[in-house]
Amino acid sequence: MFGRKRVKPIDLKTLDQLKPLLAEGKPVLIDFWQVGCRNCKIMDGIVSELAEEYGGSAHVVKVDLGRVANAKDSFQVKATPTFLLFGRPSLPTAKKKAKRQPAPAPERAQQGPVVKWRASGLVRKDVMTRALENSGAVRVGGD
């Protein structure tokens, strides 16, 4: 009961800190927020719960738009809070292929994480949970 350390969201100071997290291959949920945003404060508790519940299988990251230079423009954030979920690109399945397609170009085969889900404003926890689990995250704690 007291032995488990509580996992908290990662508080980014620069966008460069995001690169190694994305390179790990785990889903990365980013919460773009700003000071004075009422909806950001409401969502903060849910984001913290998600960090604790999916801590081992996904990264939950908070980005303060007032402190992290270029975050707003780099991710085209128009309102706060905005949530982005990055994951690995899905591989095409055999059922979806109607005709034979050429082999993927080497740069596509090595493609990095892609945005799997995006939302702004107040988002229900079950919607965020479903997005994380659809991207490969597994609940590791919490109830």
Q: What is the pLDDT along the chain (143 residues), one digit of tens a residue?
A: 455 567 899 999 999 999 999 999 999 999 999 999 999 999 999 999 999 999 889 999 999 999 999 999 999 999 999 999 999 766 555 444 444 545 444 444 456 689 999 999 999 999 999 999 999 999 985 44
Pairwise CA distance, residues 47 & 129, whole Å: 10
Q: What residue has token string 């399945």?
A: 93
Pairwise CA distance, residues 120 & 11, whole Å: 19
Q: What are phi and psi of 133, to 5 degrees?
A: -65, -35
* Spatial contact of 10 and 61, defined as CB atoms under 8 Å apart: yes
What's the Rg (C-alpha) of the chain? 17
β 82-87/28-33 pair status: antiparallel
